[in-house]
Structure 1
């Protein structure tokens, strides 16, 4: 991970640049205007020194007051035009850059929403957040301080050098005498800053990772009284971040004064040589003044180019990471076209094999059938494959072998959103966004009315506690629903599942983490939800599934027993042993 974070890209990687500039196409006419302005800015920049030379030699020296007033007016007009062009150029480059990174960020987020659940199992969330936020922001430098600015600076240097040579080649040679020294200083600065940027990026990545992880797990830190230990760790990581940034600051604070000293030496040499020329009358005062202005204009872009090259390099690195993520193929293949208005809910697994990694199968030759309106319960120890079965039903993962059918049609033939909209899932770990209860239930769907949400909440049994909250359904539950109890979050998840009126209900350990009083309320809600619908229930508490039409006992990914509660107890196998163990715990 650290190596990836500190990689240095090739500035002129044509493949990456070509793919990035595809995002410029919607704004291509504005981009052409920007290129024109950059070229025009490069052409007009040397005009002011030339006009100054003309004013001094042709009007001031001749004592022509009217001509002097005219030239001053022209100088003011040229300066105003140059300022206006610079304003438009800077604003336009920023405008294009911001719109492009907005489009890239939207495309990247949209891409992430189509990825398989397995992709998120393997990829750290912090890395994905960095790609979507930090890397996209860094990429903006390619447009705001990148190629366009570098090309503009180079054009300005070419035009200035050309007019200097045309005006006086001897003064030009004197002016350029210290350029090799500036190039050496610039190269050293570029390499040092690139290295420090890499260190800063690595330090930021470590700092972000530590803070995110430890704030999320702060309760564990406090439970085990590890505040002082973690504080010392944070101080060490933060110190590395400080050291890396100070290195970068040091290089900047050294380079720019050095560049100014070199420019001052050049100016001094120019004044000495040009002054002799003026006194001996083989050059003019206007030419000398113009060359002093040329030197100032010539050194400025050279100083900036080194910094812009490093900034652009970081942008290319970020672009490479973003493009690699966009190129990832861990997407669910949504090739199905079947979109039924209603489902009966007849579920059938046929010889299903599934592995999260290669051939380490967690489900082995699973076959069962749940008819419309039936209630199937899945029982087994942790890791037996219960959650894997319900994940496969909604196509959160793809099976390796076999078939899964709903109403006699393979689930891969269903359009993905049509399939999932007919399956209501309630998980053990309820996730609520930092938003209102209403928005957590509808998830932003405009076709679900407030009246329907209230009606379903009352039907499920959740409205009573919601009405007691400040602002009721508009109450903000904060991050992950931290201000609500486990049971309240579970009831909200029931409402969220039922507002879509699913044909199939899936309950994954829905009552494993609540007290007995809340469990009774939830059980009443579950009975209402199951009525007339096909339901698949996972439960550790066997007392909650005794009324199931069919119970499947899983062990190490295989079906060991199938039957009703009474049948399985009579069989005296896996299920009977589990039941007796729980019964003994209740007696104790």
Structure 2
């Protein structure tokens, strides 16, 4: 999963590659400018501060590098031109906090120095060398340092210039890196949401809404942290570490090689951490999704939970998930505590101990392996090596959590979605035919068997039967939420499998038993924001279904706010709005799924006449348990265990005296008034059991 996740994240990062590359270039420039400081310090120490101990010679050239000492001009050995003559040599050496001047050459300035009674003593390897010397006043020392000031000021100017560049580059890097990351996450969230819209309906039958929400919100938020915080720190850290090692090797090859041991330790560290962290984070993110799912389910079913007094059981289920979540959070806490900042301190201490041991044994001895300026610069740069390591280590927890979340997001996006076909098709007539259709939600478990019927344009076809007989499955096939395993379904003679799903559904409308209203207004719930449906069309649709009179008491009229699935409206009002929605879209095929079940008798009488208008010119499928509402249907299909057992009009089926006749008698209460034969009683009992 890690490889797939990493590749997917890289592909998304490439969508903003220009700004990412710009940010990385600015980062590299900023690191280089920042690391220039120790090099400037080395030059300042070795060539200007400590260089006073180099040999000085008398000169006759009075230029900016000449020093006037007791009316004689002296110049440092590296300031002479190739043709310039050199006079008497003098040496200036530091003893404790003061300086002395020696007339003549000094064999070696390395060793322990002391000065007394006009004699400079240098002890080295058990031998003492003595030289006549005089002390220098502060003014005289100043005169020897004065020629270095212009170059020192120039180095300071360079230092400030590099510092300004580093500040600007740091700002640019942060801005462009985070801007790129925000753009990538914006696209990722857009793609995730768009992909959810393309997922087949049966996908949501198996995954609770809370888990889907968790992936779109919590998991993408964690991926945002990955791009903005984690990758920012890791990019910065890696480039800083590379820059530091380049600087270390430029300063001294041997010292750079000594410090290379940090790299494999860091790599092993990350591998060890992620081995455990990935396992914990996978469970943590999964538990968080399950917590979201149970909260969503509890809120949706709060009335049922309270009516059946299931608060304690629901609470215990939640606490079990929450406790498990807490357990693995504690495990992550322990892991982070063990592999945190303290290990960086240990690594830093070990590195400096090795360097001090190396210098203590040889480097600061007589051989003088490196200069003091190189040592200062080396220690400065080495200290900078652990700053990015600290930043990277502190982000390890976020890195792994983000990678797990990214894996969950891309797992959702890898689910096969329905192809989206642009364009549309002309409004079809609505002649629907099922030819020997067999279908099952699971293999070898058909819920529809050999279904064959024809619904012509303008006809009303009613589907009746007990729960589980296959009524809703026929509608699901008609909408192409699923496709049959056997047989064909045609609209106007064309197999539906040859037509894009979006095109077919464009000319279909549905009214559900429990209509779904979106947050907005009554008008927006009728038009669903479709620009093709004008305000006048909305008003006419509401008027035709008789909703104007029912909704007249609302102060906002068509602009009355609808909140939380229309909870402030009655069931009848919501149903009327759903009817108006179907009418406004003028579908060729209309499905009424128990559309009048939740409407009172008076309201039902209102819309029955409107339904007659609504059904004209379009094929209508009605799923109904109340058989009184389908008397006028052109064709009634009686379903039992996935098969059509009776087919015909209301009068024809009553005359047949079969299952429909018994169902109708049962609903009308006729069975209690008319004596029934034993055979009829047995048939009636089987119908009741089926219902």
TM > 0.5: yes
Indicate whether 1:518 and 2:630 are aligned: no
Supply the distance in 2 between the matched residues of 1:31 and 1:182 (Cα, whole angstroms). 25
Q: Given that residues 392 and 399 in structure 1 are in contact (C-alpha distance below 8 angstroms), is that contact kept between their aligned partners in structure 2? A: yes
Aligned pairs for 1:50-61 (under 5 A) are 50-61=39-50
Which stretch shifts more, 63-72 or 354-363?
Answer: 63-72
Supply the distance in 1 between the matched residues of 2:439 and 2:34 (Cα, whole angstroms). 68
Aligned pairs for 1:27-42 (under 5 A) are 27-42=16-31
Q: Given that residues 339 and 415 in structure 1 are in contact (C-alpha distance below 8 angstroms), is that contact kept between their aligned partners in structure 2? A: no
Q: Which residue of 2 aligns with 1:302?
A: 389
Indicate whether 1:375 and 2:460 are aligned: yes
Q: Given that residues 281 and 404 in structure 2 are in contact (C-alpha distance below 8 angstroms), is that contact kept between their aligned partners in structure 1? A: no
Alpha-carbon offset, residue 273 of structure 1: 7.2
Do the aligned partners of residues 485 and 89 (structure 1) sit closer, same or farther apart at CA in structure 2, a change above 3 Å counting?
Answer: same
Q: Given that residues 377 and 536 in structure 1 are in contact (C-alpha distance below 8 angstroms), is that contact kept between their aligned partners in structure 2? A: yes
Indicate whether 1:493 and 2:482 are aligned: no
Do the aligned partners of residues 508 and 206 (structure 1) sit closer, same or farther apart at CA in structure 2, a change above 3 Å counting?
Answer: closer
Do the aligned partners of residues 183 and 534 (structure 1) sit closer, same or farther apart at CA in structure 2, a change above 3 Å counting?
Answer: closer
Which stretch shifts more, 35-44 or 369-378?
Answer: 35-44
Q: Which residue of 2 aligns with 1:542?
A: 627
Supply the distance in 1 between the matched residues of 2:550 and 2:668 (Cα, whole angstroms). 32
Q: Which residue of 2 aligns with 1:3?
A: none
* 1:38-95 deviation digits (Å, cap 9, x = unpaired): 4434444422222222233334445433433332332222122112212222222222
Count residues with an aligned counterpart: 575
Q: Which residue of 1 aligns with 2:558?
A: 473
Supply the distance in 2 between the matched residues of 1:107 and 1:162 (Cα, whole angstroms). 41
* 1:172-218 deviation digits (Å, cap 9, x = unpaired): 57767888877776665555544543443243233223222222222
Alpha-carbon offset, residue 398 of structure 1: 1.1
Q: Could you tell me which of 22, 41, 46 is aligned with 2:35?
A: 46
Do the aligned partners of residues 138 and 585 (structure 1) sit closer, same or farther apart at CA in structure 2, a change above 3 Å counting?
Answer: farther
Supply the distance in 2 between the matched residues of 1:167 and 1:25 (Cα, whole angstroms). 36
* 1:111-156 deviation digits (Å, cap 9, x = unpaired): 3222322232233333333333333333345544566754553343
Alpha-carbon offset, residue 497 of structure 1: 0.8
Supply the distance in 1 between the matched residues of 2:612 and 2:345 (Cα, whole angstroms). 80
Indicate whether 1:455 and 2:546 are aligned: no
Q: Could you tell me which of 648, 651, 673 is aligned with 1:566?
A: 651
Q: Given that residues 230 and 395 in structure 2 are in contact (C-alpha distance below 8 angstroms), is that contact kept between their aligned partners in structure 1? A: yes
What SS does structure 2 have at the residue aligned with 1:106?
helix
Alpha-carbon offset, residue 485 of structure 1: 1.5
Greater Cα radius of gyration, structure 1 or 2:
2
Q: Given that residues 186 and 303 in structure 1 are in contact (C-alpha distance below 8 angstroms), is that contact kept between their aligned partners in structure 2? A: no
Name the TM-score, length of structure 2 as normaliser.
Answer: 0.75
Do the aligned partners of residues 287 and 118 (structure 1) sit closer, same or farther apart at CA in structure 2, a change above 3 Å counting?
Answer: same
Indicate whether 1:76 and 2:160 are aligned: yes
Supply the distance in 1 between the matched residues of 2:269 and 2:183 (Cα, whole angstroms). 36
Aligned pairs for 1:275-354 (under 5 A) are 282=368, 283-308=370-395, 311-329=398-416, 331=418, 339-340=425-426, 342-354=427-439
Q: Could you tell me which of 421, 426, 437 is aligned with 2:506?
A: 421
Do the aligned partners of residues 551 and 332 (structure 1) sit closer, same or farther apart at CA in structure 2, a change above 3 Å counting?
Answer: farther
Indicate whether 1:128 and 2:212 are aligned: yes
When you count strand as a share of all residues, which structure comes out higher? 2
Q: Given that residues 441 and 453 in structure 1 are in contact (C-alpha distance below 8 angstroms), is that contact kept between their aligned partners in structure 2? A: yes
Supply the distance in 2 between the matched residues of 1:378 and 1:128 (Cα, whole angstroms). 33
Q: Could you tell me which of 318, 330, 344 is aligned with 1:234?
A: 318
Q: Given that residues 208 and 293 in structure 2 are in contact (C-alpha distance below 8 angstroms), is that contact kept between their aligned partners in structure 1? A: no
Alpha-carbon offset, residue 262 of structure 1: 4.4
Do the aligned partners of residues 356 and 206 (structure 1) sit closer, same or farther apart at CA in structure 2, a change above 3 Å counting?
Answer: closer
Aligned pairs for 1:108-507 (under 5 A) are 108-140=192-224, 143-145=227-229, 150=234, 152-168=236-252, 189=273, 191=275, 193-253=277-337, 255-264=340-349, 266-267=351-352, 282=368, 283-308=370-395, 311-329=398-416, 331=418, 339-340=425-426, 342-507=427-592
Q: Given that residues 263 and 299 in structure 1 are in contact (C-alpha distance below 8 angstroms), is that contact kept between their aligned partners in structure 2? A: yes
* 1:2-30 deviation digits (Å, cap 9, x = unpaired): xxxxxxx53xx2x5444443334443332
Q: Given that residues 190 and 306 in structure 1 are in contact (C-alpha distance below 8 angstroms), is that contact kept between their aligned partners in structure 2? A: no
What SS does structure 1 have at the residue aligned with 2:561?
coil
Do the aligned partners of residues 262 and 472 (structure 1) sit closer, same or farther apart at CA in structure 2, a change above 3 Å counting?
Answer: same
When you count helix as a share of all residues, which structure comes out higher? 1
Supply the distance in 2 between the matched residues of 1:188 and 1:466 (Cα, whole angstroms). 66
